[in-house]
Structure formats: C-alpha cells, structure tokens
Amino acid sequence: MSVTPAEALRGLLPVVISGGRPLASHRPTTRLLPALAGVTADPVWLVRDDQLAGYEREPWEVCTYPEDEARAYARDHWTGHQPYQPGCWIGVSPGREWACRLAEARGCWGVLQLDDNIRRLIVFMNRAATRRIVDRHGGLGLFADLLAAVALSTNARMAGATLSAANPASEPDIFARPGFPYSLFVERVGPGREPWFGPIEEDIFHAYTYGANASPDTAALVIPLRYLKDHTHQSSGMRPHYDAERSVGLQRMAPEMARLGIHRGHANGAGEPRVFHKMIRGAIRTPLVITDPGLFAAAQARITGLADEFRDEYAADVAAKVQARAARHRA
C-alpha cells in the first residue's frame, strides 16, 4: 500500500529523457519501468525528433520534441561558459523542460524525471539485502511513492533520490534535507515552476534556482533512497560531451555552491584530466519545511520499516557468509 494517496500517484507522469542511445541495451532504466504499472501514470520515453530514426523501440509510449524549438530554447536559456553557437551541443535541458510541459499538458501535478541509464535501485547502502528489499516493496514504484510524498508534504519543488556514490555513513539519521537531485527525481509542475537552463549540469543549477530564488520553494534529497547508473557505454548519451571543462560554467554561475579541483585521473574514460566539482553542503539556503505533517511522517515511517528489515536481513546475510567461510577453512 502506498504512502501517497493513490489518486495523487496517478497524477505523476514518469518521463525517461533519452538521447544518443539508440540501442535498448544501453538504456537499463527500461527494466525498472514495469514496477510503475498501476501506480503512476503510464511511463513515457522522450526523445528529440531528429534522434528518433533508428531508435530501438520498447513497450512504452515514445514522445518527441522538435529540434528547432529545442535549439531556440537552449539559446535563450544558455549558461555555458562559451557563447551559444548555432548547431552546437545543447545538452538535455530542453528535454527536461519538455518533460515538464508534457506533464502539464496531460493535467498531471508532477513529473518523475528519469535518466535512461539507471541500472539499480537500493536503500541505505549497496548490499544484496537492500536490493531484495527494494524489489519486494515495489522497486521504482516505491521510489515514486516516497519521492511524491516528500514533494507533496514539503516546500520542495524537486525531491530526488541520492546517487549511490555519496557516503551513506555520513548522514545515517537524515531522512530528507535540501540538496541537489540529479537523475531520478519528482518535480512539481504548473504555476511557480522554474524553467530549465543548460547545457551542462542543468539538474544542479535547476535545484539551486529553487533554493536561491525569492520564493518559499526549495529542492530536496531523500537520503535513504539511492540509485546506481550504468557508465559502461561511454560513447553514448551525454558522456562524449563531458570534457575537462564540464564544471566551469556551473562554478561561474554560482561559485558559492560548488568547489572545483583538477583530477589527474581520466574523465569518464575520455583520457584526460578533468575539472571536478563537489557540491557544498548548505549551498541551497532555503530550508526544507514540512507542510503536511501526516504525509511526511508516513513516508518517514515507511523508511524506518525498511531499515528494520535491512538490519535483520543484512545480519542474516553476514552470518551466512561467516559460516560459509568457516566451513571452507575447516575443510
């Protein structure tokens, strides 16, 4: 049973924003979508019209948006550190904007924005026990439920899951806080929604806009909900366009929200050092305010129940491993 009222969940439109990945095997998010059946509105894949030819179809609706309008939009909402040039790479910010417009056109209150290369959903930390727990409790449907609950019970216009690379031990007692959603988040659409800017780090800048503008809105992360992405196909999607200057425009636009450094290691397999950014805690100044205590408490209670399951199941897994190793040692 969901925490968010069923009628509200049906008003949430899942949109997978895709581009540059014509092969279905390069888009693992598709394996997560069946869990949304009967939970949210039917999922939609969103692809720019000039990239649709040769796109391997899947059993979901595919919507397109026009390249010429996307380029005009990108030109008018440009934050790159180099001036916009006709025909240049424009990133995914137009796609994110069109996802919001699609939800608005269909009368939905929100959009569940998904990158197309999400390969796994977990809670708390990446262990077999948490993967089993997520599967038992609805997979992506669980994530949609809890993110929608936070978006509807607080002042967060964006409420997102946390990238698994973040250290789970650093915030063991936090359910939700202001932060920067990336690849899996709910955004409330309609009046008061901010437009998307790009081309680089558009999701970070969008969250910052909500948290820094003269409104009561903010952006939030639900810390226990985590996801892993598939980066094995470095020549597809956005990856070929992430170069050594990836973070420069972001830091110039809002130097108080990101620290920059140089990593000597290769950038996404591209073979050169890169400018690396680290988001500063507290950069989003507008705090998370609870507006529906009952719904927020129900979401917290759901996570607490999952934590109890994880404690017991993970302990059993560890005990089984110890016994197996002891048996091998005795043998």
In CATH terms, the fold of domain 8-238+285-330 is Spore Coat Polysaccharide Biosynthesis Protein SpsA; Chain A (3.90.550)
Res 273: pLDDT: 60
Res 214: pLDDT: 80
pTM score of the predicted model: 0.90
List pLDDT tens digits, range 201-216.
Answer: 899 889 989 988 888 9
Q: Which segments of the chain does DSSP mark as H helices, in order? A: 6-9, 67-76, 93-105, 128-136, 140-153, 202-212, 248-253, 293-330
Helical (H) or strand (E) element with 121: strand 118-123
Does the pLDDT of residue 155 top 90, yes or no? yes
Cα→Cα distances 1→5, 20, 137, 141, Å: 9, 37, 9, 11
Res 154: pLDDT: 98
**122-136, 168-182, 247-261: range with highest mean pLDDT:** 122-136
Which of 35-44, 225-234, 314-323 has the lowest average pLDDT? 225-234
* Domain boundaries along the sequence of the chain: 8-238+285-330
Angle at the Cα of 194 (from 119 to 111), degrees rounded to 5?
40
